[in-house]
Amino acid sequence: MAFLEIDGLRKRFGTVEILKGIDVELEKGGFLVLVGPSGCGKSTLLNTIAGLENITEGEIRVDGRAINDLHPSKRDIAMVFQSYALYPNMTVAGNISFGMEMRGVPAEERQKAIDKVAKVLQIGHLLLRKPSQLSGGQRQRVAMGRALVRDPKLFLFDEPLSNLDAKLRVDMRIEIKRLHATTGTTIVYVTHDQIEAMTLATKIAVMRDGEVQQFGTPAEIYNNPTNIFVADFMGSPAMNLVPATIGGNGSALSVVLQRDGREPISLPLAGAPTGLSAFKDKPIIFGVRPEALTDPEGAERNASNIATADCHIEVIEPAGSDTFAVTNLGGKAVVARLRADAKIQPGTITPLAFNLTKAVFFDPATEKRIL
């Protein structure tokens, strides 16, 4: 039995269904990231776990106990808000201990707990300041301190890093990951940033329109997306999704990509998904991540199925660590990821290696993965 279980959770506002039957579970000490575009219901889902919003149907259990009818303060949770939500009239110490004060913890114990948390987060020198006297990163730490001090069963983070600048965001991301590793707490974390999701999570739930599109480990989500939405949403730069057709004769299938003014590319498929044979001569969406499309020298040596094709390179984007080359296939810009020192010129026709073992195929009608 998992530590956090969400069963058939539905949430309606009048006739509008915001959450349409969410089933998610998380083991103890896990890190669940709810990720999706704005308006997908991820924050609402977090608020229902926190008890700040009621649910219409379903059940939320923590450690085997149903909590969905309990008051937020009785759920043994702690929450870090996007805006930090520090009480402006109280000092940092007052902010951290407010929850304990409300639960009637004696002053002496409160002080001990404050000191302990201040040490973990290195905010000891800030304890007597007011939130207005803190920088963004310090406020973030205090907000985490307020959550940590409760020692709850479940931590909830609502886009905690989105108000920080890019550099600080990376630092705090590492900090949160370290905190998770050292304290072994169970965390549910909401973000719209897929990099945060990939780097932090042990489990990711990709959401759209109140439904979980895919639930799995970061590697599963990244390598085996169940539909076009997940494939497109996760990963940066995004996966190339190219309209193509399935060609070939007999059992030897190939994927055919149209090009402007030249004959189409045909890439032979070995060990293609069995479902693909039903799509022979039919349109599909061919998905290949930029790192699976590179110059032949840089291609993965032990991949079993690599096909090379000449492509017209339109644009080169040297990003320092890598060089991205943009070509046009099937009417769409396709990004290839090359080594930083790859010899490649814009406007030339250059062979690119497609790592077809990493390629995925989607049905354009249902947008689902063809398996």
Nearer to other proteins, 10 or 130 (CB): 130
For residue 244, what are its two tokens? 């193509």
Choices 50-58, 177-185, 263-271, 294-302; region in contact with other proteins by CB under 8 A: 50-58
N-to-C CA span, the chain: 30
Q: Does 132 bind other proteins (CB under 8 A)?
A: yes
Residue in this structure with the two tokens 């890439």, named with its chain if needed: 267
Q: Does 160 bind other proteins (CB under 8 A)?
A: no
Choices 67-75, 207-215, 343-351, 356-364; region in contact with other proteins by CB under 8 A: 67-75
**At closest approach, how far in Å is the CB of 152 from other proteins?**
9
Which residue type, as a one-letter code, is found at position 114? Answer: I
DSSP reduced 3-state for 36: coil
Of the residues 20, 70, 137, 163, which one makes contact with other proteins according to CB under 8 A: 163
Q: Does 38 bind other proteins (CB under 8 A)?
A: no
Q: Does 87 bind other proteins (CB under 8 A)?
A: yes
DSSP reduced 3-state for 84: coil
Q: Does 131 bind other proteins (CB under 8 A)?
A: yes
Of the residues 11, 42, 110, 139, which one makes contact with other proteins according to CB under 8 A: 139
**Is residue 243 within 8 Å of 332, Cβ to Cβ?**
yes
Of the residues 122, 133, 223, 304, which one makes contact with other proteins according to CB under 8 A: 133
Q: Does 102 bind other proteins (CB under 8 A)?
A: yes
User: From CA 47, how far away is CA 52, in angstroms rounded?
Assistant: 5
User: From CA 69, how far away is CA 243, in angstroms rounded?
Assistant: 48
Phi and psi at 162, nearest 5°, equal -70, -15
User: How open is the CA angle 155-69-94, to the nearest 5 degrees?
Assistant: 45
Nearer to other proteins, 130 or 312 (CB): 130
**Is residue 326 within 8 Å of 314, Cβ to Cβ?**
yes
Choices 81-89, 211-219, 303-311, 338-346; region in contact with other proteins by CB under 8 A: 81-89
**At closest approach, how far in Å is the CB of 258 from other proteins?**
48
- Distant-in-sequence, close-in-space partners of 174: CB < 8 Å, separation ≥ 6: none
Of the residues 28, 103, 125, 280, which one makes contact with other proteins according to CB under 8 A: 103
**Residues 259-318 within binding reach of other proteins (CB under 8 A):** none
In the sheet that 203-208 helps form, which strands lie side by side, from edge to edge?
77-80, 154-158, 186-191, 31-35, 203-208, 211-216
Nearer to other proteins, 84 or 279 (CB): 84
Nearer to other proteins, 87 or 112 (CB): 87
Comparing CA positions, the residue from 250, 304, 254, 279 lying closest to residue 362 is 279
Q: What is the CA radius of gyration of the chain?
A: 25
Q: Does 83 bind other proteins (CB under 8 A)?
A: yes
**Site of interaction with other proteins (CB under 8 A):** 47, 50-52, 71-73, 77-79, 81-89, 98-99, 102-103, 130-134, 136, 139, 146, 163
